[in-house]
Amino acid sequence: MRGSASTSATGFYGCIKGLFCTNMESKLQLLRKHVRTFPDFPKPGIQFRDICPILKSPPALTAAIDLFEEQVRTIHPQVDLIVGLDARGFLFGPLLAQRLEIGFVPVRKRGKLPGTTVTAAYDLEYGKAELEIQEDAVSPAQKVVLIDDLLATGGTLCAACELLLRLKAQVLGCLVLIELKDLRGAERLKPHTVFSLLQY
Ligand SMILES: O=P(O)(O)OC[C@H]1O[C@H](OP(=O)(O)OP(=O)(O)O)[C@H](O)[C@@H]1O
Ligand SMILES: Nc1ncnc2[nH]cnc12
């Protein structure tokens, strides 16, 4: 209704929603522009999605943290901890935790963490490994959201969720920048929910 002084409630909220979506879309587009694909790395047949250009671009990195922040706020109003996965989950996790003003806990590859740890083994898209968390890093019933750069087969995030469940944490969901849909990692992670910013 061009020129009208009155705006209906639906029109007003529709407009706000439109602005929000446009903003979200532009952030997603910016992120997508900063992901490079390398065929046959580190093995023949793997299309490697490289997130390094996001780290090199302050606007793209800010867009990623903005979108993760929005996602966490829709998951639960009071998340206690962000849990990041070794190694690329460490690039986004501490920034997100700082933005949310909550703590960050690392899940590391085996043998890197001092003190008493809990360990879980898993298979990768290209290999095998073990993950560990410090036993006292998370208290029972604490509400946690996990973060990693990428979901492929889901083996890594499954192992991390298993560690958190062994510490009796409440896993509210998993965030990833990139989800490789064909590998069906999200199905493997059920009943845990995966929230991905970009899908390939
Ligand atoms: O869903 P999945 O099949 O488990 O694969 C995803 C995982 O693989 C990559 O990490 P990688 O183990 O290569 O280690 P890095 O982060 O140390 O490079 C990626 O950063 C995820 O953590
Ligand atoms: N295709 C892929 N690209 C980047 N990181 C990965 N981790 C596992 N699969 C990957």
pLDDT at 124 (0 to 100): 73
Distance (angstroms) between ligand 1 centre and the Cα of 68 equals 19
Identify which of 35, 49, 90, 148 to mutate to test ligand 1's pocket (most ligand atoms within 8 A of the CB). Answer: 148
Q: Which two tokens stand for residue 155?
A: 């083996």
* 135 CA from centroid of ligand 1 (Å): 22
Tell which residue, 146, 147, 152, has the closest CA to residue 49: 152
Q: How far is the CA of 37 from the centre of ligand 2 (A)?
A: 10
The label of the residue with tokens 């973060």 reads: 147
Question: Which parts of the chain sit beneath pLDDT 50?
Answer: 1-10
Closest atom of ligand 1 to 85 CA is 22
CA–CA gap between residue 39 and residue 160 (Å, rounded): 28
Cβ of residue 15 lying under 6 Å from some atom of ligand 1: no
Instruction: Report pLDDT for 185.
Output: 97
Pocket lining: 46 vs ligand 1, CB cutoff 6 Å: no
Residues 115-148 as b/e (b if ≥16 CB within 10 A, e otherwise) read: eebbebebeebeeeeebbbbeebbeeebbbbbbb
Give ipTM to 2 decimals: 0.98
Structure confidence at residue 7 (pLDDT): 40
Domains of the chain: 6-199 (3.40.50.2020)
The tokens for 177 are 């920048």
The percentage of residues in the chain with a pLDDT greater than 70, rounded to a whole number, is 88
Mind listing the pLDDT tens digit for each residue in 94-130?
Answer: 999 999 999 999 999 999 999 999 999 998 756 789 9
Q: Which residues pair with 151 in a beta bridge?
A: 179
